[in-house]
């Protein structure tokens, strides 16, 4: 036993770090400039392929999890490790489907065991925020959103949504139902959500690289110029109709449920009210959580975070879309991602709560108001529904303390929150290549 343990420790803490250091040094020695993106890709490949071994070893020798829950009545465990860039998970009966961003594979967990062969493998562009991104289930169909290519890592053909039949634990008979643009490696959106009426929602960001000047933005980003180009929008999609591509249709804007969205990694339906919610990522300041009512204008590129009177007055009007402030904002970006409304009996004390994840390892809990259209927070500095920047005792700029709204920390870059049929909360992490499971102690 000790020999096995020692071998694992040597592998984890000596051999793997040496391989990584040698690979980095060799890569940097050989390449410069354009090839740096490939180096980063190589490093991620090494990380993704060694993380499972490292985590298994750490648990064997008793290293505690980084992931922690602030509520003592709940605990977290690693459920599945050794995945490759998971972006979304979805329960179907007792199966879990896992989307891998960079491989385009849909993996299957059956009876708690990750199956070695994927149930589907599509070709994706996978740089930065491209890849196999979103999944929704409206039985008997499964919907996937991905940046399609002719080969993994190839040039993008578009951000496409396909409808599949779910038969005998297989995804068959793909039908293209939406063609969205793919003009940028960034802000591809990709999350899907479905409501109780069988409506499908999808989100895409502004498709404009960070640092773009104002004249690069278009009308759907609240500027007076440019084409209607199916960016910065949430779509309500007719899953039985013809292929959705609003910019080519006679009346494009009737297909937009919301506009003015910079970048989003989260869509969710409140199962009690049927309301749609999203998270949005700001540039250098203000990330948001929004209640998304029909014809919502989130305000980007003129507004991020809560707006001043002047900003609202000077926002160009765009058809019948209506601006409203976020329900919560972080002044310094925290990169919010997925969100979910707990309804399982195990999470009964959180039935009036919205859980929101971020890419910095946190799961937040927001207490809902009585009609579930906003939040009621108690901490005096959070009653303004904004986590503002303040100067701490050491003169550093920090966010106002978030103790009241922190449910979990240490999860890496969270990409999805889902409740299983067992009532437990499952959390996928892109950086940890892991699915965590949270439930009562
Ligand atoms: Ca693939
Ligand atoms: Ca907004
Ligand atoms: Ca505040
Ligand atoms: Ca989710």
CATH number where 137 lies? 2.120.10.30
Give 308-325 pLDDT, tens digit per residue: 999 999 999 999 999 999
Burial class of 212 by CB neighbour count within 10 A (0 to 12, 13 to 18, 19+): middle
Task: Output the CA 400–ligand 3 centroid distance in Å.
Answer: 7
Domain containing residue 194 = 68-440
> Can you tell me which residue has the tokens 């591809």?
188
pLDDT top residue among 139 and 1:
139
Q: Which residues surround ligand 1, an ion (CB under 5 A)?
A: 104, 121, 152
Residue 199 sits in the same domain as residue 317: yes
Task: Output the CA 307–ligand 3 centroid distance in Å.
Answer: 14
Residue 83 sits in the same domain as residue 185: yes
For residue 183, what are the contacts with CB-CB under 8 A and spacing of at least 6? 207, 208, 231
Residue 167 sits in the same domain as residue 281: yes
Residue 206 sits in the same domain as residue 286: yes
Q: Which residues surround ligand 4, an ion (CB under 5 A)?
A: 338, 416, 418
Residue 98 sits in the same domain as residue 53: no
Give 174-184 pLDDT, tens digit per residue: 999 999 999 99
pLDDT of the residue at 1: 45
Output the CA torsion 89→159→359→39 (10° steps). Answer: 110
Task: Output the CA 418–ligand 4 centroid distance in Å.
Answer: 5
Cα–Cα distance, 117 to 94 (Å, whole number)? 18
If you compute the radius of gyration of the chain from its CA atoms, what whole number of angstroms results? 22
Task: Output the CA 354–ligand 3 centroid distance in Å.
Answer: 19
**Domain final residue, candidates 60, 77, 95:** 60
Give 102-136 pLDDT, tens digit per residue: 999 999 999 999 999 999 999 999 999 999 999 99
Give 189-215 pLDDT, tens digit per residue: 999 999 999 999 999 999 987 777 888
Give 359-400 pLDDT, tens digit per residue: 999 999 999 999 999 999 999 999 999 999 999 999 999 999
Which ligand gives the minimal distance to the CA of 88? Answer: 4
Task: Output the CA 251–ligand 4 centroid distance in Å.
Answer: 31
String of DSSP letters for 292-341: E-TTEE--TTT--SSPPHHHHHHSPP-TT-EE---SEEESS---EEEEE-
**Residue 157: alpha-carbon gap to chain centroid:** 22
Number of structural domains (the chain) is: 2
**pLDDT over threshold 60, residue 26:** no
Task: Output the CA 71–ligand 1 centroid distance in Å.
Answer: 39
**Parallel, antiparallel or unpaired: strands 328-330 and 386-387:** parallel
Residue 286 sits in the same domain as residue 430: yes
Residue 78 sits in the same domain as residue 163: yes
Residue 149 sits in the same domain as residue 170: yes
């Amino acid at each position: 036993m000790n020999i096995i343990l020692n071998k694992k420790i040597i592998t984890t803490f000596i051999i793997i770090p040496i391989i990584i250091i040698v690979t980095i040094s060799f890569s940097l020695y050989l390449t410069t400039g354009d090839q740096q993106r490939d180096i980063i890709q190589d490093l991620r490949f090494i990380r993704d392929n060694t993380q499972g071994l490292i985590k298994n070893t750490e648990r064997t020798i008793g290293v505690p999890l980084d992931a922690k829950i602030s509520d003592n009545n709940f605990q977290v465990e690693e459920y599945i490790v050794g995945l490759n860039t998971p972006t979304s998970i979805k329960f179907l009966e007792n199966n879990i489907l896992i989307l891998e961003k960079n491989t385009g594979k849909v993996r299957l967990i059956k009876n708690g065991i990750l199956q070695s062969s994927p149930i589907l493998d599509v070709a994706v562009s996978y740089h930065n925020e491209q890849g196999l991104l979103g999944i929704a289930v409206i039985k008997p169909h499964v919907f996937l959103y991905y940046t399609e290519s002719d080969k993994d890592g190839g040039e993008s053909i578009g951000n496409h949504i396909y409808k599949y039949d779910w038969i005998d634990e297989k995804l068959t008979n793909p039908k293209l139902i939406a063609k969205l643009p793919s003009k940028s490696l960034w802000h591809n959106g990709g999350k899907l959500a479905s409501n109780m009426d069988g409506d499908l929602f999808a989100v895409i960001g502004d498709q404009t690289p960070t640092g773009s000047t104002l004249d690069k933005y278009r009308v759907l980003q609240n500027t007076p110029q440019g084409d209607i180009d199916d960016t910065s929008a949430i779509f309500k999609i007719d899953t039985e109709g013809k292929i959705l591509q609003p910019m080519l249709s006679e009346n494009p804007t009737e297909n937009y449920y919301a506009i003015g969205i910079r970048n989003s990694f989260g869509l969710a339906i409140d199962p009690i009210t049927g309301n749609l919610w999203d998270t949005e990522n700001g540039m250098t300041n203000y990330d948001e959580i929004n209640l998304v009512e029909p014809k919502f204008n989130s305000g980007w590129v003129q507004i991020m975070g809560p707006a001043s009177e002047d900003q609202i007055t000077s926002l160009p009007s765009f058809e019948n879309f209506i601006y409203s402030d976020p329900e919560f904002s972080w002044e310094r970006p925290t990169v919010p991602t997925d969100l979910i409304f707990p309804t399982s009996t195990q999470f009964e004390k959180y039935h009036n709560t919205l859980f929101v994840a971020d890419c910095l390892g946190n799961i937040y809990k927001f207490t809902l108001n009585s009609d579930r259209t906003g939040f009621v927070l108690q901490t005096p500095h959070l009653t303004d529904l904004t986590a503002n920047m303040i100067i701490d005792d050491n003169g550093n700029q920090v966010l106002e303390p978030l103790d009241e709204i922190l449910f979990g920390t240490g999860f890496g870059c969270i990409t999805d929150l889902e409740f299983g049929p067992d009532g437990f909360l499952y959390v996928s992490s892109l950086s940890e290549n892991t699915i965590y499971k949270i439930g009562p102690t």
